[in-house]
Amino acid sequence: MSVLKGKRILLGVTAGIAAYKTAWLVRLLVKADAEVRVVMTPAAKDFVTPLTLSTLSKNEVYSSFTNEEDENAQWNNHVELGLWADYLLIAPATANTLAKMATGVCDNLLLAVYLSAKCPVLYAPAMDLDMYKHPSTQNTFDTLNGFGNIQIPAAHGELASGLVGQGRMAEPEEIVSFLEEYISQGLPLKGKRVLITAGPTYEAIDPVRFVGNHSSGLMGYKIAERAAALGAEVTLVSGPSAIQLENKRVNLIRVVSAAEMFDAVQSHYAKIDIGIFAAAVADYRPIDPAQEKIKKTGDSLDIKLEKTQDILGWAGSQKKQQYLVGFALETQNELDNAKKKLEKKNLDLIILNSLRDEGAGFKSKTNKVTFIDKNGAVLPFDLKDKAAVAVDILDYIIKQQ
C-alpha cells in the first residue's frame, strides 16, 4: 500500500516533448491507488491525446473552460478543481508555463487552477539545456520555490535537441517516488523503524510433514502495510504465507521455522523503535526430524518434541528503547492469561483475541481484539476487518510515542 492510496492528485500537463511520458506517470499513480484527474494546456494536446490520459486516469481530461464544440457545455470550474486536489503535480513543466506561474499570468485553465489551488504544488521542469540554464529560468525557479512550490529536480541526460545536460524531466518512476517521499515527511511514523512478525512457523517432522498452526499471517501483513503507509521503515518477518504484500516499501523476510524467525528478529531488533510480534510461532518442534520421509509402518507414531525459542520473551528481556507489542490468542480465562503474558514478556501492550469470539482468530478476514497496556488499561473493540484493526493498533501506538 503506497502513501498515495486515496490521495487526490491533479496532474497538470504542459506542451513539452516529455508530455509523452505522462501516460506512464498516470498509470503509476493509479496503480498506487491515487485518484487522478488531468488538466492540460491546449498546446499539450499536440504531444499526448486527452483520450489516452482519460482512459488511463478513468476521469475526464480538462483543457479549456468549456467545450467549444458544444454551446451548452458546462463550465469547468477551475476553483473547484483547485480545491479538489490534495496535490497539484505539473509535469512536464515547460519554461513558458513556469514563467507564467511566477508572474501570475492566467491565460489557460491549468494556470487558473494553479492560482486557485490551496494544496501543495509540485513541478517537474522539462526544457532544453540552454533554456534551463538561462538566468530568467533560474529566477523563475527561485520565485516559484519562494512561493512554497516544490521542484522535482530535472535530470541530466540526452535532450530532444541532441544536447546532453540538465533539463530532462525526471522519469515517471522518479516523480512518483519523489511525491511519496514528500508525503511521507509529514507522516506520524516517519523516521521510525518497525519490526513485525507474522504468520505461522513450520517445524519439520520429516521432509514432507511439519508441526504448525492455522495462522494465515493476514493480521501481521495488514499491520506492516499500515505502518509503511504511515511513513515507517518496516521490516516484516513472515512465516509461510500465501499473502502478497501490496506495499513495496515493506522489507519482507521470509522464514519457515521458529529458529529462522528468531535469527531474523535478532539481526534487526537492536535498531528498531517499535516491535509488533503478531506471528503464531510453534511452541514445540521435533527433537530429531527425519531426513527421509517417515513410512507408515504402524498404528501409531511417537514424536518427541522440545520447546522452540521464546522469541517474544527474548525481545522483552532485551528491550531498551523499543515499544514492544505482543498478541495473545486465548480460549479460556482470556483477560487473566493475557495480563500474565504482558507482565512475563515485559511488553508495553498486548492484543488479546479469543477463539470463542465468532469472526476472530486464524483464517478470518476479521478480528475482535482487546488492548491491555502495561499500566493495566483495558480497551475492547468491536469485530472489525483486520485492516481496520491494524489502523487501531498503530493509532494507539502513535499516541504512546
Q: Is the peptide bond before 50 cis (omega within 30 degrees of 0)?
A: no
- Determine whether 77 is an active site residue: no
Report helix angle 50-57 to 22-31, nearest 10.
10
| Closest among 34, 40, 35 to 12, alpha carbons compared | 40
| Closest among 42, 60, 40 to 51, alpha carbons compared | 60
Give the three-class secondary structure for 352: strand
Contacts of 393 (CB under 8 A, 6+ apart): 223, 226, 276, 325, 351, 371
- Alpha-carbon distance values, 146 to 137, 207, 272 (Å): 14, 65, 37
Rounded to the nearest 10 degrees, how much is the dihedral formed by the CA atoms of 115, 119, 120, 121?
-30
DSSP 60: -
C-alpha cell at 64: 479549456
Cβ–Cβ under 8 Å, residues 312 and 277: yes
How many CB atoms are closer than 10 A to CB 175?
A: 23
Q: What is the 3-state secondary structure (H, E, C) of 230-248?
A: CCCEEEEEECCCCCCCCCC
| Closest among 52, 39, 125, 35 to 82, alpha carbons compared | 39
Helices (H) and strands (E) in the chain, counts: 13, 22
Give the three-class secondary structure for 41: coil
Instruction: Give the span between the Cα atoms of 29 and 35, in whole angstroms.
Output: 8
C-alpha cell at 215: 495462522
Q: Which of 59, 77, 96, 213 is catalytic?
A: 213
Instruction: Give the span between the Cα atoms of 108 and 278, in whole angstroms.
Output: 54
The one-letter amino acid at 270: A
- Indicate which residues carry an active-site annotation: 213
